[in-house]
Homo-oligomer: A and B are copies of this chain.
Amino acid sequence: MKKAKVKALVLDKLNNAPVVLLEIEGTRKILPIWIGACEASIIAMILEQTEFARPLSHDLMLNIIETLEAVPEKVIINKIEDNTFYAKLILKDLTIPPEEHASSFLEFDARPSDCIIIALKSNIPIYVASEIVNTQTIELEESHSSDKEDEAFKRFVENL
């Protein structure tokens, strides 16, 4: 399992579909995940730090989690089946005593987009299963300056 972070949210021009690009930490590997337009607009708002006066769905979800004495722990993009990525949201149940640590983690089947939104909003890590890193990522071209690196990324996005 490898740690990843949101590198960018871009449009796949062929289908006009939004794609989240996850960068695998310590590598030049990029994992593109196609997501829905609604989820993309929420991610865009978070990345642009747009404030919204009323609680959005994931804010409500996080309020509920907190009030029911749990905390988001991490998210895992754990498998791909029929071109659909699956993810898991892991919560820690704070009502479980520390000596039963192992049983305090709760797993929820979820879409990557919901998981990424929750990870961004609550600042928890995103992990990607090694098999997905090995089979579904695209390697950015090697470069020796950060300018060239930006260029390589731009080219990658353009060819998506």
CB <8 Å contact, A60 and B89: yes
User: Which of A7-15, A51-59, A129-137, A150-158 has 4 or more CB atoms under 8 Å from chain B?
Assistant: A51-59
Chain A interface secondary structure, helix, strand, loop or mixed? mixed
Number of copies: 2
- Known contacts A60-B89, A64-B91; is-contact A54 B84 (Cβ 8 Å): yes
CB-defined contacts of A64 to chain B, threshold 8 Å? 61, 64-65, 68, 70, 89, 91, 108
Docked-complex contact B55 and A58, CB < 8 angstroms: no
- Measured between alpha carbons, how far is A56 from B110 in the docked complex, in Å? 8
Interface string of A82-124 (1 = CB under 8 A from B): 0010100101010100000000001011110010000000000
CA distance A91 to B65 in the complex (A): 12
Within 8 A of B (CB), among A60-75: 60-61, 63-65, 67-70
Asked, given contacts A38-B41, A84-B54, A89-B60, whether A108 binds B67 with beta carbons under 8 Å apart, the answer is: yes
Known: A38-B41, A41-B38. A110 touches B61 (CB 8 A): no
Q: With A106-B67, A108-B67 in contact, is A61–B57 under 8 Å at CB?
A: yes
A91 to chain B, nearest CB (A): 7
The complex places the Cα of A39 from the Cα of B41 at a distance, in Å, of 12
15 more A-B contacts (CB under 8 A) besides A53-B84, A64-B89, A67-B108?
A37-B38, A54-B86, A55-B111, A55-B114, A57-B114, A60-B61, A60-B89, A60-B110, A64-B65, A64-B70, A67-B106, A68-B91, A68-B93, A68-B106, A95-B95
